Structure 1
Amino acid sequence: MLLFLDIDGPLIPFGAPDGTYPEFAGGGGPGGHPLLGRVDPGLGARLAALGCELVWASTWMDDANAVVGPWLGLPRLPVVPWPDEDEPPALIHWKTRPLVEFAAGRPFIWVDDEITEADLAYVAVHHPAPALPHRVDHAYGLTPADFATLREWLSRHPSG
């Protein structure tokens, strides 16, 4: 089971109504990203405990492995290569088609803050295996409720 993971929004919250975020000491350390302190370092263990093959699905590309992965205690992860397109496809998110292609028929979860109904429909029509495109609220990032949703879905789709 693949788990495609976006960074901005799911891991680094932004746009909170009150403009406050949790701060985790050491996150923006030497060479770190200034917003990395918003990322709960415990998320790495919680993501790994899901038992999925984690894959970066972010515009951070390999910087995810250089900056975010070490902060989360994650090993080097595969990175989805994004196509060079001048225009995003109509209606669906520009990541949707490349993620379905990368999955190549394997079951997957996609954690992102920009998933829409159009993306859900595209995945349902173009991907033969079970898939859970899961939208995270960018103002709060991944929450215990999100993890409960992922674990519940995984319990219903244990193969993969």
Structure 2
Amino acid sequence: MTSPPKRRPLLFLDVDGPLLPFGGEPEEYPRFRHPGADPGGNPLLSRLDPRHGARLAGLGCDLVWATTWMDDANDCLAPLLGLPRLPVLDWPDAPDRNTALHAKTRAVVAHAAGRPFVWADDEITPADRAWVTSHHPGAAHLHRVDPRRGLTDGDYATIAAWLDDRSPRER
């Protein structure tokens, strides 16, 4: 009897902060041109490094948008990054005021349904880490990204190393 194939880990990806850095002086950020982007659209889009698409696709995981952009991430960002439409994490509009958890935390764990996952976000707290540790039966890596810098080479290296230890080998 053969066991079912091992499913790839998930990567829950926030946009504002990880892909669109903010919080610093405007002149700190590199500017990227995106042919086809709406010039009157979101001014932060010029901070979207198109190389993120290939880097994310090459991580060996299944990507999920975990952002307030919701499906707008598929309509606006995915084409600029060269990514296909991705699943979108759905979470409650209003955070639970009785807890210090991020509004996304419970939804991330529910969506993962036991699968190993990385959550890359700029708002992860110790409360989120503790809750995931006690409520998620699989491996999880909550990776806090500095919103002033966005995803860096170091972030990618850390995430890739964690995923590499958990991804099924394709032979």
TM bucket, shorter chain? over 0.9
Q: Which consecutive aligned stretches of 4+ in structure 1 deviate over 6 angstroms post-superposition?
A: none
Residue number among 38, 41, 56 corresponding to 1:30 in the alignment: 38
What runs of 5+ residues in structure 2 fail to find an aligned partner? 1-8
Matched, 1:125 2:134: yes
The answer to whether the 8 Å contact 2:60/2:163 transfers is no
- Residue of structure 1 in register with 2:161 after alignment: 152
The whole-number CA distance in structure 2 between the counterparts of 1:58 and 1:89 is 22
The whole-number CA distance in structure 2 between the counterparts of 1:18 and 1:66 is 25
Query: Secondary structure at 2:28's aligned position in 1?
Result: coil
Number of equivalent positions: 160
What runs of 5+ residues in structure 1 fail to find an aligned partner? none
Matched, 1:4 2:12: yes
Matched, 1:99 2:120: no
Deviations 1:68-98 (A, max 9, x none): 1111000000001122436445111111011
The answer to whether the 8 Å contact 2:95/2:103 transfers is no
Q: What aligned pairs does 1:1-160 form with structure 2 within 5 A after superposition?
A: 1-16=9-24, 20-26=28-34, 29-30=37-38, 32-85=41-94, 87-159=96-168
Deviation at 1:16? Answer: 2.0
- Amino-acid identity (%): 57
The answer to whether the 8 Å contact 2:61/2:167 transfers is no
State the Cα RMSD in Å: 1.9
Deviations 1:25-57 (A, max 9, x none): 137832643211101000000000001100000
Deviation at 1:151? Answer: 1.2
